[in-house]
Amino acid sequence: MAAAVRAGVSGRILGRGSAVGARSMSSWWRSVEPAPKDPILGVTEAFLADPSPDKVNVGVGAYRDDNGKPVVLECVREAERRVAGNQNMEYLPMGGSVKMVEETLKLAYGEDSEFIKDKRIAAVQALSGTGACRLFADFQKRFSPDSQIYIPVPTWANHHNIWRDAHVPQRTYHYYHPESKGLDFAALMDDVKNAPNGSFFLLHACAHNPTGVDPSEDQWREISYQIKVKGHFPFFDMAYQGFASGDPERDAKAIRIFLEDGHAIGIAQSYAKNMGLYGQRVGCLSVLCEDEKQAIAVKSQLQQLARPMYSNPPVHGALVVSTILGDPELKSLWLKEVKVMADRIIGMRTALRENLEKFGSPLSWKHITEQIGMFCYSGMTPEQVDQLTKEYHIYLTRNGRISMAGVTTGNVGYLANAINEVTKSS
């Protein structure tokens, strides 16, 4: 009633009975379709809504301790205590926290990297791994407008969204070999060879998401060589440094091989998992350039892309990272805590495989312990996944990806039994 009165009043003010007011106007957004739910985040939503006491969430990739609880690292708590009350909240520069970026580059390129000494790396703080990838995709579109990106099959679903929204044409390359549940190395190499010279290749530096399948060191060397021959641009998404093997140096091996081989690479780094800073959105995008002058130019252009997106990145997470990495004691504590997380996951892989074998599963589950990082590509079909969810209240993405971080000594038996039940007749 009030709305009609208002409509009438405003109609009178404008005269001519023109179209103002609740009754006569319709929405601009009538034709907006409801968007499909994000497949990964939708899993957690469904899990939260499930009242079953047996429910297990092996969906989203956030670390959980053996009680299934999220973890805030002690080094992070300490860093936050030091930071709170002491800092103002002024804008960071467009490129973010210089200190945080410096420390982050050391992790990826090596403590004594000559690229860092020679100031050849254009680097900016980014909104975690997603933001780093998106900034690079936008940069690629602007400065290599005729290029395309090759994305592995499968990959983290959001990779496709990122390069699509940046309007960079995408192609795929073979990666996962379903029969062996390992790497389809021969097909991967063929795709690298057959791609037009100078294509951009997205590589997972370690702990491939979603499969957990990584190339061996030898295989990385061959991939590097072939990419060099073809003049391709290697872009690394490194979301799990330290989290995969427990040793950040070891997890950076692929990147170091490419650097030795003289590639000009790009890297997206994230602290979401390895420092447990998920919601803080802390990461870094770096591009290795020919010299300092070019690095300055590239960095300035990256900033030009960040400015119309968010002006400058958030300060809090960056402060936490630079406090930790800038203090030898805190850094050492961090390295210990990262190893604890990685070891727990490796332990759960072993436990899951042993339980499945104990239950007498007719299938081979050695891929569980051969794969690395947070995720295990179980090999289950979408129908089997649906059954797991419906009958056993176990939540995971329909591609059969299990987040090992969600596995605990408390639920591994239940999980193994359920998986065995839905797969034993296949």
Partner 1 sequence: MNPRDSSSSSPSDRRLSALARHLSSPSAAGVGGGVSRSLASSSSFARGDSVFSHVARAPEDPILGVTVAFNKDPSPVKLNLGVGAYRTEEGKPLVLNVVRQAEQQLINDRARVKEYLPIVGLVEFNKLSAKLIFGADSPAILENRVTTVQCLSGTGSLRVGGEFLARHYHQHTIYIPKPTWGNHPKVFTLAGLSVKYYRYYDPATRGLDFQGLLEDLGSAPLGAVVLLHACAHNPTGVDPTIQQWEQIRQLIRSRRQLPFFDSAYQGFASGSLDADAQSIRSFVADGGECLVAQSYAKNMGLYGERVGALSIVCRTADVAGRVESQLKLVIRPMYSNPPIHGASIVAAILRDREMYNEWTIELKAMADRIISMRHQLFDALRARGTPGDWSHIIKQIGMFTFTGLNSQQVAFMTKEYHIYMTSDGRISMAGLSSKTVPHLADAIHAAVARAV
Smallest separation (angstroms) from partner 1 to the CB of 307? 6
90 scored as a contact of partner 1 (CB under 8 A): yes
Alpha carbon 82 to its chain's center = 28
Smallest separation (angstroms) from partner 1 to the CB of 414? 24
Residue position matching structure tokens 């447990």? 276
Of the candidates 70, 169, 178, 382, which one interacts with partner 1 according to CB under 8 A? 70
91 CB-contact burial (10 Å; exposed 0-12 / middle 13-18 / buried 19+): exposed
Smaller CB distance to partner 1: residue 35 or 49? 35
Smallest separation (angstroms) from partner 1 to the CB of 191? 16
Q: Which of residues 326-385 bind partner 1 (CB under 8 A)?
A: none
Catalytic residue among 237, 251, 334, 365: 237
239 scored as a contact of partner 1 (CB under 8 A): no
Q: Which of residues 148-207 bind partner 1 (CB under 8 A)?
A: 158, 161-162, 164-165, 197-198
Catalytic residue among 141, 163, 184, 273: 273
Q: Which of residues 275-314 bind partner 1 (CB under 8 A)?
A: 276-281, 287, 289-290, 294, 296-298, 300-301, 303-305, 307-314
177 CB-contact burial (10 Å; exposed 0-12 / middle 13-18 / buried 19+): middle
Q: How far is CA 153 from CA 42, 137, 176, 178, 335, in A?
A: 22, 18, 6, 11, 32
**For residue 101, how many other CB atoms are within 10 A of its CB?**
24
48 scored as a contact of partner 1 (CB under 8 A): no
25 scored as a contact of partner 1 (CB under 8 A): yes
**For residue 60, how many other CB atoms are within 10 A of its CB?**
20
The answer to whether the CB of 230 falls within 8 A of the CB of 192 is yes
Largest CA-CA distance found in the chain, in angstroms, rounded: 81
Q: Where are the alpha helices (DSSP H) in 311-411?
A: 315-325, 328-358, 366-370, 382-392
Smaller CB distance to partner 1: residue 273 or 344? 273
Of the candidates 20, 153, 187, 363, which one interacts with partner 1 according to CB under 8 A? 20
Of the candidates 43, 58, 76, 325, which one interacts with partner 1 according to CB under 8 A? 76
401 scored as a contact of partner 1 (CB under 8 A): no
- Residue 386 bears catalytic tag: no
Please give the Cα distance from 252 to 84 (Å, whole number): 32
Smaller CB distance to partner 1: residue 50 or 222? 222
Q: Which of residues 243-262 bind partner 1 (CB under 8 A)?
A: 259-262
141 scored as a contact of partner 1 (CB under 8 A): no
Alpha carbon 129 to its chain's center = 5
Smallest separation (angstroms) from partner 1 to the CB of 53? 22
Smallest separation (angstroms) from partner 1 to the CB of 362? 35
Stretch near partner 1 under the rule CB under 8 A, chosen from 123-131, 324-332, 377-385, 392-400: 123-131
Of the candidates 81, 336, 358, 424, which one interacts with partner 1 according to CB under 8 A? 81
414 scored as a contact of partner 1 (CB under 8 A): no
Identify which of 392, 337, 333, 312 has the alpha carbon closest to the alpha carbon of residue 50. 392
Please give the Cα distance from 400 to 152 (Å, whole number): 17
Stretch near partner 1 under the rule CB under 8 A, chosen from 49-57, 216-224, 235-243, 245-253: 216-224
- Residue 237 bears catalytic tag: yes
273 scored as a contact of partner 1 (CB under 8 A): no
Report the b/e string of 277-311 with b at 16+ CB within 10 A. bbebbbbbbbbbbeeeeebeebbebbbebbeeeee
Of the candidates 43, 92, 108, 324, which one interacts with partner 1 according to CB under 8 A? 92
- Residue 273 bears catalytic tag: yes
Catalytic residue among 138, 141, 156, 220: 156
List of residues 6+ apart from 200 with CB closer than 8 A: 140, 144, 147, 148, 149, 150, 168, 232, 233, 235
Stretch near partner 1 under the rule CB under 8 A, chosen from 6-14, 206-214, 328-336, 407-415: 6-14
229 scored as a contact of partner 1 (CB under 8 A): yes
Please give the Cα distance from 273 to 322 (Å, whole number): 16
Kind and range of the H or E run holding 234: strand 233-238
19 scored as a contact of partner 1 (CB under 8 A): yes
Catalytic residues: 156, 237, 273
